[in-house]
Structure 1
Amino acid sequence: MRTSVPLTLAPLALALYPLLALAPPAHAEGGPAAAEVTPARVAPGEQVTVSVACPAAATAPQTMDASSQAFEQGTVTLRRVPDQQHQNPGAAGYQGTARIAPATGFEGGGPNAAGPTSEWSVDGVCHDDGQWQATFTVTRAAPGPSHTAPAPAAPHGVRAGGGGAFTDSPAALAAGGVLVAGACAAAVHRLRRDRASAR
């Protein structure tokens, strides 16, 4: 005995086909949130950029918070940006900058401290309650002292007198020589005259 159910459903399927063709394709969820910090290795007082890609959602806020104990302010605001880096058209991208705390804030070490460096994390929550986290390294090594050799002094002779009492210009030397010669000639002339008058 044949069943007539397929013949009954055929007209219904043909009627629904245009509606199914116009329906938008279903997108898979964007997966877990992705986040990164650049540069991944910084020194106290430097600035980093935090980039986050949240899963696709119908509505997403224009801002979100990112928190880290290594940040000078503790929490910074990330703003909505086109998610070009992750090449996910449905994702909500966020980006913002933060300044690392001064060196005094890292004197006690930090999470996963190892020698002069320590690992830190920045955390946040996407609009769909999806948590995200990214790690970065803070180096506390102070730069070594720079040993710069002093520039050699230009050689010069010993200068007597002070306050410009002596000058080594050729004109001044010539004038001085003339004065000395004139004084000597005057002294010799006077000595001869005194001897002549004494005879």
Structure 2
Amino acid sequence: MSSSGFHVHGPHDHELQHAAEHEAEHAAAAKKQRSITNEVAVFTAVIATVGAIFAYMGGLTQANAGLYKNNAGMKRTEAANQWNYYQAKSTKQALAEFARDLSPDDRKPAMQEKAARYDKEKAEIQLAAQKLDKEADDWDHRSDAALHEHHRWAQATTALQVSIALAAIALLTRKRWLEWGMFGVAGLGLVIGGLALAHV
């Protein structure tokens, strides 16, 4: 430094200062990159965990839909058996009425009593068959609802998987817009998961 307060740098001093500035810029860029990498890594771990829960719920609702459909089938079979039983009683009633009409007068009351008994039994069987038909319909509706819910969980899981793929691409390419896309698709997946949770 000169006595007048001016300092003259030599070529060596200038290179050292330039190297220090470049190193500071490089360190700042590396710190920013580590921050983005950490952010994406934590995001990916959280979304993968939520995605695993969504996948479990999707599998559960799919299994329930199958179980409910199976229950509906069993109830339909029971109802069909009752309707067949009803038809058998109808045939017996018709035969008893036919026999009543062809019987001598002293046998008509017995045949009428038999026909009335079949008619009463038919009414009870019909109520049982209708109840079983309603139960089968209820199981079918539950199955349809569970299957719809399964589709929602599957859609939500798929969106989260796409988000994780975008996170990997964002890390490799270091493109900020891909990171925003990752957040957007994950948000969409969470909204769809919320709809599934709300049974919408």
TM-score using structure 2 length: 0.22
Q: When you count strand as a share of all residues, which structure comes out higher?
A: 1
Q: Which has the larger radius of gyration?
A: 1
Q: When you count helix as a share of all residues, which structure comes out higher?
A: 2
TM-score using structure 1 length: 0.22
